A and B are shown apart, each in its own frame.
Chain A
Amino acid sequence: MGGVTLYGHPQSPYVRRALMAFYEMGVQDFDFKVVSSSKGDTKTDEYLAMNPFAKMPLLDDNGQYLYESRAIMRYIAEKHAGESSSDLVGKDPLERALVNQWVDVEGHSVTEQVAVVVEENFLKKLMGTGEPDKDRADAAKEKLARLFDVYEKHLEGREYLVGGRFTLADLTHLPYTELLPHAGAAELISSRPNMSKWWERISSRPAWKKVQQLEAKLS
């Protein structure tokens, strides 16, 4: 089965989210086309015809285009569910809802704050786009601390967020959380024992290592 192409940059957290789903489900048969937004690749007429929002990742499955990283991860998990013993989605409406719930908490509460911390304390210096706004970063770190207090309590006696196994609920947290140490904010996780154990567990999965190694492989 060919004709599946994922467009994106291997460093993009959103692209890494989609790649993780491919690797977790053991999908081998797909092409990865590197595109760079800084080089204008996502603004060409050709790209906009596929994703008019000019964002990455973008999936081309035999001529059908799909975008938004969390929609792609759900699609890949569902499409390949029969081929794998992994159930990343949830086995009944309630379990599916709890997975969705944590994906929504990540997408609408956590990542917003992580992105601010990463932008101020890491990206600005890296890309030379301006002086870090310490107040903005500190406010985001404070919000994250309150959110992570809830995670810490939830993970008491739990190895994973939902269903006693790795699901999309855990997967979706990998890309941005990975950047917290670069932004000098690793202690947000390391100071919380349950979150530390959970992070160690999910980030040491072979599929995640594969995502992290992809860029080196491509060059």
Chain B
Amino acid sequence: MPKLTLHGTAISPYTRRVIMTLYEMGVEMGVEDFVHIPVSPLTGGTKTPDFIKMQPFARIPVLEDNGSIIYESRTLMRYVADKYMDQGPNLLGDTLMERALVNQWIDIEGHTFSPPVMILVYERVFKPHLHKRPCDEERWKDGREKLSRVLDIYEKHLEGRDYLVGNSFSLADLTHLPFTELLPAAGAFDLIESRPNVCRWWARISSRNAWKRTQQVEPYEF
């Protein structure tokens, strides 16, 4: 019997966040460790009565663990890092304050970094490719401006640092991987490349083996 079932297409950056954490913690896809069910909101999969019973907000990803249901991608990444702490790396932080700083950067990602990234990705990638609607250029330009201001702060913070918190890869870094992955297709990767510290950090975290494997579950065509 599978211990875990992860519901959600790997096209979704939110699902990628969870698959990445599973792989980092040494939890493998397949009958022994976790089963992946690629349900997609684009094909109505999240509006069925069965799905809504499981996740009443009708969103992916959702994790089933021996009868318990948990959702929200950042919750799931924390849960996986917590549950498998004994068999994998410590992605949560080594001390009380380090754990707090990891939480701080996850919140910065969620509330300050990702919103402009999502505008860029939505306007230039998801809208034209998935929804067959044109990009709103004004909104896209505004997204670039907002992201530039945020990345200036990251650039300063990453001076002399390999990772956002402490000396090792943590959920603080991991949480930035999805969505940012799509900045090239969104026509905004120059904002990363033109900032040496951010560029170096991005190259380091995006070349991790677990991330390469996550991307291969459902490689992007864009």
Listed in ascending order, the chain A residues whose CB lies under 8 Å from chain B are: 52-53, 61, 64, 66-68, 70-72, 74-75, 78-79, 93-94, 96-98, 100-101, 103-105, 107-109, 147, 150, 153-154
Contact = CB atoms under 8 A, between A and B. Distances in A.
B72 interface: yes
A97 B75 contact: yes
A174 B74 CA distance: 21
B79 A100 contact: yes
B106 to A, nearest CB: 8
Contact of A68 (B79, B83, B107): B107
B156 A104 contact: no
Contact of A75 (B83, B100, B112, B156): B100
A99 to B, nearest CB: 9
Nearest to A108: B110
A147 B96 CA distance: 33
| Chain B binding surface, main DSSP class | helix
Contacts of B96: 75, 78-79
B149 to A, nearest CB: 10
Q: Name, among A66, A94, A100, A154, the residue most crowded by chain B CB atoms within 10 Å (CB to CB).
A: A100
A52 B72 contact: no
A94 B107 CA distance: 21
A94 B65 CA distance: 9
| CB-based closest 7 A-B pairs | A104-B72, A68-B107, A75-B100, A97-B79, A71-B103, A71-B104, A100-B75
B57 A147 contact: yes
A94 B100 CA distance: 19
B184 interface: no
Given A53-B112, A104-B72, A96 B82 contact: yes
Nearest to A99: B75
Interface of B: 56-57, 65, 68, 70-72, 74-76, 78-79, 82-83, 96-97, 99-101, 103-104, 106-108, 110-112, 153, 156-157
A53 B108 contact: yes
Given A71-B104, A97-B78, A104-B74, 17 more contacts: A52-B156, A53-B108, A66-B100, A71-B103, A72-B100, A78-B96, A78-B99, A79-B96, A94-B70, A97-B79, A97-B82, A100-B79, A104-B75, A105-B72, A109-B57, A150-B57, A154-B56
24 contacts: A52-B157, A53-B153, A61-B97, A66-B97, A66-B100, A67-B104, A68-B108, A71-B103, A71-B104, A71-B106, A75-B97, A75-B99, A75-B103, A78-B100, A79-B96, A93-B79, A94-B79, A96-B82, A98-B70, A100-B72, A100-B79, A105-B72, A153-B56, A154-B56
A52 B153 contact: yes
Contacts of A107: 107, 110-111
Contact of B97 (A64, A108, A154): A64
B164 to A, nearest CB: 13
B1 to A, nearest CB: 18
Contacts of B111: 68, 107
Contacts of B79: 93-94, 96-97, 100
Q: Name, among A61, A71, A96, A105, the residue most crowded by chain B CB atoms within 10 Å (CB to CB).
A: A71
Contacts of B74: 100, 104
Contact of B103 (A68, A94, A98, A147): A68
Contacts of B110: 107-108
A203 B13 CA distance: 36
Contacts of A93: 79, 82-83
B112 A101 contact: no
Contact of A70 (B71, B83, B107): B107
B100 A71 contact: yes
B38 to A, nearest CB: 22
Nearest to B107: A68
A25 to B, nearest CB: 14
Contacts of B101: 66, 71
